[in-house]
Structure 1
């Protein structure tokens, strides 16, 4: 891998520090993060389009032209049944996130490469993070997200047709000091290739019978993915035999993301990434969902981004890595909703600390205030260094 060049970071014309795009010990101060599936809502681009018509119109035209149909109309008008289809919701969320970033850059003069040190995204949000970090161009990334989502939707339909069961995702919330033992108990009950029962595990369980830990989101929340009935069976066993009674919340998804059912999507990504232009090294590090570490090479990126379809999203580990090992103090969430900000804020606790903060840019009315707070925290950080 070629040595990453050193470049000076500037804040309002003041040189602050050099950075290396792929140094493993360089302190990182500002992270840009993006949301994943489930945050979509009708009209989520409307307020941005009204407030910033010049930037929004050209972007929306680019989005619709790239996909070959008016996705913008689905986002603006719905109905929910259409927007919530995986093949529509995922490109909608990704595109909305990048639209907001473009507005920051073009309307507010936000220089991403000068103000941000590292990017990451939750599940689907990883694609937005790769675009923001300069690894992927928006247009091919949007096509790839749409194609991946179409394959995922097909996987879910085939699993339901084959088994007759309902599939989806269930969040489990527990006390923070119980999380590790809960994860251990789940893995013990699931076993290799198990459907969630200690008694009926087998070495070669069909993918449609498996339940997996899809996300480890925070110090007190994980998400299970797979057959809803088998997840219910697992919860009964955890309560009766495992000594755990987590609160279970069914998520707004009829697809078992990050489970073996999505294996065809992983294969689609492997093929697609082999023909997609990837820039590496890019503008800044991007943290992988699968490894909870920055992508190490172009081949590593292609491998981990494909595996993300069927493996656990290690979001909590990613946040802890940046917080505890890399020194990130400022966290900027960009995209629909504030779920990501809440997860990050719960872990790092820097809502108003000097030189730090956690923000969510999801409403145009809040941008100026957030930009002022960010600039203030940057100057405080420089003064303290």
Structure 2
């Protein structure tokens, strides 16, 4: 079995995430406690108790998902499910999940990754608060059709999640006009309840500041392959990884491409490490033959 680890992106968070991991895995509990000490605020309490309005803030949910994903890695290691004899072949993460994948592969340590994701979340929330953006999901359309719609309304494709599931992003009024036009043309379009226009040029201020922040942080070569959102392929050179992480803030997430590249490289089983099963659903939509397990809480570790 060539195992690929999948890490969740923003939107997967939910109140209660990680509670059973904390209660029943000493290794997972250590990660949550370390996060609280590093961040200087009670991230663990917010994960477990909410309120939902606080957990869903970009600056909170991004570190929350990072910690939860790596707490699952530690719990699986504690149980002997991951280790020298059962190491992953590769890792990939959706949007902020790419940082979790980097940490899982040893590009930087847990605390460094936590500082990175906390700053990314802070900068992106700041960008959301100083722009007026939104996003929408376009279902059942090929990439070419979505590209034409984006060009017509001056918006951008933000996520290529699976065949027939593409997310667009941009100024709120322009996205609304694109949604209305697409619906008139018989297309299935779903406006998304998000704080801003992620993975679009409206995040440029966050990208620029994030580049400066990352410039002093040491990146190492990953212990196993990491597929990056902006390329859809594996990168290994530290400077390439750093550049990909910066570019991702304003660039489309090529998630379908990443998944297909992982399979082409030999991945035969995917483990989704995060709340819910969003990534498993996208995998099934892409290819029903792919084997995917979703791990969210301690009871899932028996799968």
Regarding TM over 0.5, the answer is yes
> Which residue of structure 1 aligns with residue 137 of structure 2?
171
> Is 1:86 matched with 2:26?
no
User: 1:193-208, aligned counterparts within 5 Å?
Assistant: 194=154
Cα drift, residue 251 of structure 1 = 2.6
State how far apart, in whole Å, the 1-side matches of 2:85 and 2:220 are.
15
Q: Deviation per CA, 1:12-69, whole angstroms, max 9, x where unpaired?
A: xxxxxxxxxxxxxxxxx321111100011111011212222x2233222200011011
Relative to structure 1, the CA distance from residue 222 to residue 109 in structure 2 (aligned partners, 3 Å threshold; closer, same or farther) is closer
State how far apart, in whole Å, the 1-side matches of 2:289 and 2:105 are.
24
Q: Deviation per CA, 1:248-268, whole angstroms, max 9, x where unpaired?
A: 223342121101111122122
> Which residue of structure 2 aligns with residue 289 of structure 1?
229
Q: Does the CA contact (< 8 Å) of 2:82 and 2:88 recur in 1?
A: no
Relative to structure 1, the CA distance from residue 45 to residue 366 in structure 2 (aligned partners, 3 Å threshold; closer, same or farther) is closer
Cα drift, residue 346 of structure 1 = 2.0
> Which residue of structure 1 aligns with residue 31 of structure 2?
59
Q: Does the CA contact (< 8 Å) of 1:34 and 1:334 recur in 2?
A: yes
Q: Does the CA contact (< 8 Å) of 1:51 and 1:364 recur in 2?
A: yes
> Which residue of structure 2 aligns with residue 229 of structure 1?
173
Moved over 6 A (4+): none
State how far apart, in whole Å, the 1-side matches of 2:50 and 2:105 are.
31
> Which residue of structure 2 aligns with residue 380 of structure 1?
none
Cα drift, residue 235 of structure 1 = 2.8
> Is 1:114 matched with 2:86?
yes
User: 1:138-157, aligned counterparts within 5 Å?
Assistant: 138-157=110-129
Q: Does the CA contact (< 8 Å) of 2:219 and 2:242 recur in 1?
A: no
Q: Give the aligned CA root-mean-square deviation in angstroms.
A: 1.8
> Which residue of structure 2 aligns with residue 316 of structure 1?
256
Q: Does the CA contact (< 8 Å) of 2:3 and 2:89 recur in 1?
A: yes
Q: Does the CA contact (< 8 Å) of 1:148 and 1:268 recur in 2?
A: no
Q: TM (normalized to structure 2)?
A: 0.94
Q: TM (normalized to structure 1)?
A: 0.74
State how far apart, in whole Å, the 1-side matches of 2:143 and 2:30 are.
47
> Is 1:50 matched with 2:13?
no
Question: Which segments of 5 or more consecutive residues in structure 1 lack a partner in the other structure?
Answer: 1-10, 12-28, 161-166, 195-210, 352-356, 371-385
Q: Does the CA contact (< 8 Å) of 2:58 and 2:121 recur in 1?
A: yes
Structure with greater contact order relative to length (CA < 8 Å, sep ≥ 6): 2
Question: Which segments of 5 or more consecutive residues in structure 2 lack a partner in the other structure?
Answer: none
Is 267-276 or 216-225 further displaced after alignment?
267-276
State how far apart, in whole Å, the 1-side matches of 2:84 and 2:56 are.
30
Q: Does the CA contact (< 8 Å) of 2:18 and 2:297 recur in 1?
A: no
State how far apart, in whole Å, the 1-side matches of 2:92 and 2:116 are.
18
State how far apart, in whole Å, the 2-side matches of 1:124 and 1:305 are.
9
Q: Does the CA contact (< 8 Å) of 2:179 and 2:191 recur in 1?
A: no
Cα drift, residue 183 of structure 1 = 2.3
Relative to structure 1, the CA distance from residue 113 to residue 145 in structure 2 (aligned partners, 3 Å threshold; closer, same or farther) is farther
Q: Which of 101, 104, 118 is 2:73 aligned to?
A: 101
Q: Does the CA contact (< 8 Å) of 1:185 and 1:238 recur in 2?
A: no
SS in 2 for 1:286: strand
How many residues are aligned here? Answer: 303
